[in-house]
Amino acid sequence: NAGVMQNPRHLVRRRGQEARLRCSPMKGHSHVYWYRQLPEEGLKFMVYLQKENIIDESGMPKERFSAEFPKEGPSILRIQQVVRGDSAAYFCASSSTANTGELFFGEGSRLTVL
């Protein structure tokens, strides 16, 4: 079992560019969660998705951020027109159902905005 796979691990963008972060959940998992971690801070919930559905996006900024989890392929977190404040580690986690409890995290994607 390969675990939760995230790529790229490191991404550098200039202000105004777009960032796309990908997450493949663990095999058999259909629930995906994205979290953002600023340096020296905790994990902030952004969005929870199931296949083809956004279940809870209460933690997503209203503008420039979007997420999807298509029927085929990985979940994508997309940040348009990046600003320096978007620099952070973005962690994806997955679970097999909504009620089992444990979330399995990927290694994270570290976005640096110049």
Applying CB under 8 A, the residues found at the interface with another protein are 31, 33, 35, 41-45, 48, 55-56, 58-59, 91, 93, 95, 98-103, 105-108
- Rank residues 38 and 114 by Cβ distance to another protein and give the closer one: 38
- Rank residues 3 and 17 by Cβ distance to another protein and give the closer one: 3
**Least distance in angstroms from the C-beta of 36 to another protein:** 11
- Rank residues 78 and 104 by Cβ distance to another protein and give the closer one: 104
Distance CA 101, CA 114 (A): 37
Distance CA 18, CA 20 (A): 7
**Least distance in angstroms from the C-beta of 15 to another protein:** 25
Distance CA 56, CA 48 (A): 5
**Least distance in angstroms from the C-beta of 16 to another protein:** 28
CA dist 99 → 65, 91, 114 (Å):
27, 20, 40
**Least distance in angstroms from the C-beta of 31 to another protein:** 7
- Rank residues 17 and 54 by Cβ distance to another protein and give the closer one: 54
Side-chain half-sphere CA neighbours of 74 within 13 A? 19
In the block, residue with structure tokens 């259909």: 30
